[in-house]
């Protein structure tokens, strides 16, 4: 193997190691949320939203906004649902509005949240924190 081949192999090893390190870091962030206090969030609105687009593909998912209160102060967040066990029902955006969901929040920074439910209506919850190699969470 020449120097170019060795360089390519080392670059690939570095990329794989970086991805593994990133995944472990993400997983530890999610595990840390298990000690965070929980409260109840209310889904305020929902609709179909483009969460990723390129020249080849466009990903449009049901996306929802929710709010929750901590010590009398309101915070909010957004999440998307991606087909997993089943496709979302056609009326998912209207049926989830008003639903109560558990949300965990960072006690030092209550505006930082995590939805512990991995599935809602058979769909995977896409949010900014999680062990996703490709996250289709809503863009802010």
Instruction: State phi, psi for 71 to the nearest 5 degrees.
Output: 50, 40
Give the chain's mean pLDDT: 84
Two structure tokens written together for 116: 């512990």
pLDDT for residue 71 is more than 60: yes
Question: What's the number of CA atoms in the CB half-sphere (13 Å) around residue 110?
Answer: 15
Find where tokens 């512990």 sit: 116
- The answer to whether residue 75 sits within a structural domain is yes
**H or E element that contains 31:** helix 3-32
Report d(CA 96, CA 64) in Å as an integer. 8
Binned at pLDDT 50, 70 and 90, residue 72 comes out as: very high
Instruction: State phi, psi for 25 to the nearest 5 degrees.
Output: -60, -45
pLDDT for residue 133 is more than 60: no
- The answer to whether residue 4 sits within a structural domain is no
pTM: 0.75
pLDDT in tens, 11-38: 888 888 887 777 776 677 667 778 899 9
- The answer to whether residue 55 sits within a structural domain is yes
- The answer to whether residue 64 sits within a structural domain is yes
Total count of domains within the chain: 1
Tell me what pLDDT residue 140 has.
60
- The answer to whether residue 19 sits within a structural domain is no
By residue count, the chain amounts to 140
Average pLDDT over every residue of 37-41 = 95
Count CB-CB contacts under 10 A for residue 62.
22
Binned at pLDDT 50, 70 and 90, residue 69 comes out as: very high
Percent of the chain surpassing pLDDT 70: 89
């Amino acid at each position: 193997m020449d120097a170019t081949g060795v360089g390519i192999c080392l670059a690939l090893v570095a990329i794989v190691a970086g991805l593994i390190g990133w995944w472990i870091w993400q997983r530890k962030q999610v595990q840390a949320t298990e000690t965070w206090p929980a409260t109840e969030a209310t889904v305020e609105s929902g609709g179909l939203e483009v969460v990723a687009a390129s020249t080849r593909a466009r990903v449009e998912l049901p996306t929802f906004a929710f709010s929750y209160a901590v010590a009398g102060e309101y915070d909010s967040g957004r999440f998307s649902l991606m087909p997993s066990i089943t496709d979302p029902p056609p009326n998912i955006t209207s049926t989830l509005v008003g639903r109560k969901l558990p949300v965990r929040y960072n006690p030092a920074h209550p505006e930082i949240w995590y939805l512990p439910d991995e599935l809602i209506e058979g769909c995977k919850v896409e949010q900014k924190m999680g062990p996703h190699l490709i996250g289709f969470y809503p863009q802010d």
